[in-house]
Amino acid sequence: MGDVPAGHISKGVVHAAIDKFVNHKDLKGSFDQRAGFLAALNGITTSDDYINLLKTQTGVTKEQADYLNEYFYAPGARWWEGLQPIFPILHQGLIKALEEAGDTLLLDSYWLPAAQSDTVEVIICKSATQVTRIFLTPPPGPGPSTQRTKPAPIWVVKKADSGLTLTTGTKDAVVEKIDGSVATWRVLDFDSMPTGA
């Protein structure tokens, strides 16, 4: 997670760390860390417990976890003050996604800040090969603004605005292809959590 322009989906470094951790397999091909993580998730009740779990089990750094807590979950969180607490929604959404994934399906998680101002929810989609978890929120409030540099495995195909060229880019995407009136944008993500929070 991190600063994301309104409407742009992002995996972010925290979701990536969680997915990598729960999707890890042992030499026999079994998810070897998922059951313990799910049991720990079921045992926590506060965002502070969750932040500690992320730091101790998933490899999320102290800086990344503190950023997440400050902007998303802690009392007086910088984003979505009127919708707080949002931690219970994310918490139960992650539990449900892991329950649906069971011991056979991959978990793939994203943040989409494109909801109306009164909506925070977790959408869980299950297929034959994976469970996709989408954390849907309103656009974030003011926060650190950082240029993204790492190409993400996410593309947005939409109408090509006039004057658009292959050199066009924003802080979160670059134009990869223009085909007539359609442009394909490659989403960029962070190599690590933005600083300045």
> 194 in a domain, yes or no?
no
Mark whether 115 and 177 lie in a shared domain: no
Task: Indicate the residue among 111, 136, 161 that finishes a domain.
Answer: 136
Q: What's the pLDDT band for 89 if we cut at 50, 70, 90?
A: very high
Per the domain annotation, does 145 fall within a domain?
no
The verdict on 103 and 36 lying in the same domain is yes
Q: Say whether both 73 and 159 belong to one domain.
A: no
In a domain, 143, yes or no: no
Q: Identify whether 3 is part of a domain.
A: no
* Omega prior to 5 cis, within 30 of 0: no
- Residue 171 pLDDT > 90: no
CA 10-192-168 angle, to 5 degrees, is: 55
162 and 122 housed in the same domain: no
Does residue 163 sit in the same domain as residue 70? no
**Across all residues in the chain, what is the average pLDDT?**
86
16 shares a domain with 105:
yes
CB atoms within 10 A of CB 48: 13
Residues 170 and 132 in one domain: no
Residue 197 belongs to a domain: no
In the block, tokens 């409407």 appear at 7
pTM given for the model: 0.83
pLDDT given at position 27? 97
User: CA-CA distance, 136 to 9, in Å (whole number)?
Assistant: 9
Quote the pLDDT of residue 11: 85
Same domain, 51 and 130: yes
pLDDT for the residue numbered 125: 98
Number of structural domains (the chain) is 2
Domain that holds residue 52: 12-136
Is residue 113 within 8 A of residue 137, CB to CB? The reply is yes
pLDDT, tens digit, for every residue of 29-47? 999 999 999 999 999 999 9
Instruction: Check whether residue 60 and residue 108 sit in a common domain.
Output: yes
In a domain, 171, yes or no: yes
Query: Do 72 and 113 have their domain in common?
Result: yes
* Contacting residues for 126 by C-beta, under 8 A, at least 6 apart: 100, 101, 105, 132
Q: Under 8 Å CB-to-CB from 1, ≥6 apart: which residues?
A: 10, 12, 13, 14, 15, 67, 68, 71, 72, 111
Band (143; pLDDT cuts 50, 70, 90): low
Same domain, 40 and 75: yes
More confident residue, 174 or 16: 16
Same domain, 22 and 117: yes
Q: Is 84 part of any domain? A: yes
pLDDT computed for residue 144 by the predictor: 53
Q: Residue 4 domain-assigned? A: no
